[in-house]
Amino acid sequence: MGLYHCEGIILRTRIFGEADRIVTLLTKEKGKIEAVARGARRPRNRLVGVTQQFSYLRGLIFTGKDLDQLSQAELIKSFAPLRDDLLKMAYATWWVELLDTFLPLAEVNTGIFLFTLAGLVVLEQTADPMLVSRAFELRLLRYLGYDPVLDHCVRCREGSSEALAGFAPAEGGMLCRSCAGVEGEKLIPVRPSALKVLRDLYGTDLRVVARRPVDPALGNELGRLLFSFIQWRAEKPLKSLAFLQSITVGR
Ligand SMILES: [Zn+2]
């Protein structure tokens, strides 16, 4: 048995036993972990308010043989606006599902932790998070080592924007017309101007992205590319994506 302090963001909670919850936390110290919060479904339990999805907390974890236990927790930031606003909740749920899907357990990644925390703060304050989310999705892919190849053909390195035919999710990047051949029509079309925006989002602070006016058509165009790539990488349907698309596409 061991004991350690951590700072973490709750990615997911699920019911466990009679009155407990298992929480999945993205922590600064240990990466993604799972721990049981004993009694967290009893109304007066001190862990009830702290163990809501998106909460940022400081906790004390007992490591056990089978399950670790969140024994004490103190709220640092509740991120309540992300649960109270349907649109923001849809984005936040999508982000945490991405993190939960792609991050392995117990692999420390302070960069991803700090980026996520900063992202949630921006999301909480942004009126229209579409472009911020595209930047978050793209940057998360980079943190995970899955950057899509956007500035040249992934097969032959042809780099002129007129030659690029579209995005091939399974190849992880753009294909030029000659490499795509007859497969060209299966590619995801993306305009050179949209590609430029995407490349630019790689290097732009989310707070700066949040101040830019949102063009929904552009946001959806970038979304088609990123979602197809993420979906292909995840190798399973992502539940929150369907919901996010149902409330954002066609706005
Ligand atoms: Zn090519």
Angstrom distance (rounded) from CA 14 to CA 40: 11
Please give the distance, rounded to the nearest whole angstrom, from the Cα atom of residue 37 to the centre of ligand 1.
52
The answer to whether residues 188 and 198 touch, using CB atoms and an 8 Å cutoff, is no
Rounded mean pLDDT, 219-248: 95
For the domain bounded by 2-78, which CATH number is listed?
A: 2.40.50.140
pLDDT digits (tens, 9 = 90+) for 174-192: 999 999 988 777 899 999 9
Measure the CA–CA gap between 245 and 251, rounded to whole angstroms.
Answer: 10
Question: pTM for the complete prediction?
Answer: 0.95
163 alpha carbon – ligand 1 mean position (Å): 8
* pLDDT band at residue 19 using 50, 70 and 90 as cut-offs: very high
- Per-residue confidence at 1, pLDDT binned at 50, 70, 90? low
Q: What is the CA(111)–ligand 1 centre distance, in A?
A: 33
Domain residue limits, the chain:
2-78, 81-147+187-248
Give 93-127 pLDDT, tens digit per residue. Answer: 999 999 999 999 999 999 999 999 999 999 999 99
Conformational region of residue 249, where left means phi above 0, alpha means psi within -120 to 50, and beta covers everything else: beta
The number of beta carbons lying within 10 Å of the beta carbon of residue 65 is: 6
Residue 120 tokens read as 């949630």
pLDDT at 248 over 90: no
Q: What protein residues have CB closer than 5 angstroms to ion ligand 1?
A: 153, 155-156, 158, 176, 179
Give the count of alpha carbons within 13 A of 110, CB side only. 2
Question: Which class is domain 81-147+187-248?
Answer: mainly alpha
pLDDT tens-digit readout, 118-162 = 999 999 999 999 999 999 999 999 999 999 999 999 999 999 988
